[in-house]
Amino acid sequence: MASILRFRKLCYVEPCSSLKFQPFETPKIENRDEGGVGSKIENLLEKKQRKNKNKKQHRGWSLPATLTGFPVPESPGTRLKAEGLTPLHPVVLVPGIVTGGLELWEGRPCAEGLFRKRLWGGGFTEIFKRPLCWLEHLSLHNETGLDPPGIRVRAVPGLVAADYFAPGYFVWAVLIENLAKIGYEGKNMHMAAYDWRLSFQNTEIRDQALTRLKSKIELMYVTNGHKKVVVVPHSMGVIYFLHFMKWVESPPPMGGGGGPSWCAKHIKAIMNIGPAFLGVPKAVSNIFSAEGKDVAYIRAMDPGVLDSEILRLQTLEHVMRASRTWDSIVSLLPKGGDAIWGNLDWSPEDGHSCDLAKKGYLQTSGDNNFNNCDENRVFQEKEPVKYGRIISFGKETSQISSPQLPRHDFKDLLHKDSATNFTSSCGEVWTEYDELSRESIRKITENKAYTAQTLFDLLRFVAPKMMQRAEAHFSHGIADNLEDPKYAHYKYWSNPLETKLPVAPDMEIYSLYGVGIPTERSYVYKMSPSDKCKSIPFRIDGSADGEEGSCLKNGVYFVDGDDSVPVLSAGLMCAKGWRGRTRFNPSGIATYIREYRHKPPASLLEGRGIESGAHVDIMGNVALIEDVLRVSAGATGVHIGGDRIYSDIMRMSERINLQL
């Protein structure tokens, strides 16, 4: 598997190169190897390694830096240790979705021999050996969102849970190593691993994950001289920890019973990396059609590769069948509705330019510690992209004015349709689309465009079991009155727009994320050409492209972000929602935005890049690592330079009417 990842890194062509966000960025797509090629490659490599095991020339592939002409840069940990930096505050790392390892504790007969072997995160050899068995064991119960009968898959514990996603593909490993260089070790550094498939409250109900995290933080606080902890969550781990903070201070049985001062006593700072505070549009396409930009690009290059009638792969259908049992995906749907993400005619990104050379991202500067938010920046887009239409059926629908759109009451149409009894003729139901009539599917396309508000009605119709189950655990609105007792329920705790931060005036909250990479914002869809059973009836229209310099490529509209999370989601809370004393931040916790301009690796010696702003690769960004190390060693946001902003997040926040 590692060899496949490395080969893809060298050879894959960037699908969004015409967008000019950066000279080159390797997209992260899942490897699909249905013909056993991956296993053959692994076998060949294993034979070659055994053959050359004792040969001197096989002890490393890289030449000494002095011979290549590329000096190996000194790691931040080594440099800061030389400056005298030592550990002060214990550090807790919180992984995000899909990056944490999962291992088998109980399984069906097809999983014989896999006890305590990794099913997720690792070599992934079981995908090639027994793919359907593998998917069955990664799926949760479709009614409860917990374990299916006879199957127990659990999070891998410890730092190894998420140091590497696959051999040679780091996630937390580089940051862990640099923390170790200044003196951190197991007694003052902890990985808060959890089963990322579950809803956040279910991680407590099934595994007591929140209770164990509370106990671990309290232990680290006491055994490290009563020093508060620095928490470093990544991606979905950001809102998981937001849920934890409300849980730990809430009374039992729903909460952890720590009391209203627990966070103020135990937490120094929360350094959120690649934060998906307000969700990500790609979660919508994942639930709706099990797609994203990478699948759309593959279809644009070879329309039949994922729909082969000969091989009958139906890869996406299998992926959808499993992923729609993971409630955590619903936590990543856009939060705040049209007020945050825009409506049919308006969005905060109006006027956004897709040429970052014009936005200043490609400028060089010897000083990174300054606020580069250019208030006089001129937007370049001639015709504003209607980003608020997260799903549009047809390219024209994504562009025309709203009065030209059809006026249908979608709720009424779906209510009438649900009243009719439809019996699927497909036999076994693979996905919930097998339970929809063709008339229902046609009505979905007739409504043409869906915003952050109306897409929830759409998803409740096409994925009713998933949405009914998951919406008991998650909410996506904006609170009118945070004093309303209903917000004491756990379904609101991971939404920063429906919950209050703890009363902890000395705490600091950081939003650390990359900018300068095209990031999915909205989609152009079409009906699938296939009318066969057990197929997904909708797909991203990979043929929909804009003009030169347009933000539309292969059916996807792009904005600025880190390849996964748009700037809007990552930065708005620290730019506006929590900035100063607000109803969401009653004690005025200090907030800081630290943006990192994406710079692709200059050579193969840099691996995935030491200045990358990509969602996962940023974990190896030397500037981000230095920020984390300095704060862990006692620095404050003021000490490391305060805000550092390159994007339009401040301008976007001014356009959003959010009651503070």
Active-site residue set: 235, 562, 615
CA-CA distance, 621 to 73, in Å (whole number)? Answer: 12
The partner residues of 304 in beta bridges, in order of sequence, read none
- Hey, which residues does 495 pair with through a beta bridge? none
Rounded distance between C-alpha atoms, residue 642 and residue 501, angstroms: 20
Instruction: Assess whether the previous peptide bond of 23 is cis (omega < 30° from 0).
Output: no
Token couple for 281: 């549009």
Element (H, E) at 315: helix 315-323
End-to-end CA distance of the chain: 49
Q: How many helices (H) and strands (E) does the chain have?
A: 23, 17
User: In terms of Cα–Cα distance, which of 240, 199, 278 is closest to 469?
Assistant: 199
User: Residue 523 burial (CB < 10 Å; 0-12/13-18/19+)?
Assistant: buried
Residue (of 145, 113, 92) closest to 471 by Cα position: 145
CA angle, 132 then 110 then 155, to 5°: 75
Sign of the alpha-carbon dihedral angle for 326, 153, 291, 559: positive
CA 520/CA 573 separation, integer angstroms: 20
Nearest to 27 by CA among 36, 17, 14, 40: 14
Cβ(208)–Cβ(192) below 8 Å: no
* Contact criterion met (CB below 8 Å) for 421 and 427: no
Helix (H, G, I), strand (E, B) or coil at 189: strand
CA-CA distances (angstroms) from residue 373 to 335, 557, 597? 25, 24, 13
List the one residue out of 120, 130, 156 whose CA is nearest residue 34. Answer: 130
If one counts every other C-beta atom within 10 angstroms of the C-beta of residue 383, the result is 9
From CA 142, how far away is CA 427, in angstroms rounded? Answer: 18
Strand partners, 582: 585
Structure-derived torsion over alpha carbons of residues 102, 105, 108, 113, reported in degrees to the nearest 10: 90
DSSP assignment of 477-518: S--S-TTSGGGGSGGGTT-TTSSPPPS-TT-EEEEEEEESEE
Helices 209-223 & 236-249 angle (0-180, nearest 10): 80
Residue with tokens 């944490």: 100
* 3-state SS class at 330: helix
Amino acid occupying residue 11:
C
Contact by Cβ (8 Å): 192, 92? yes
How far is the C-alpha of 139 from the C-alpha of 151, rounded, in Å? 9
Q: Going by DSSP bridges, is the β-strand pair 391-393/449-450 parallel, antiparallel, or unpaired?
A: antiparallel
CA angle (89, 93, 96) in 5-degree steps: 155
- Identify the residue whose tokens are 């995000």: 96
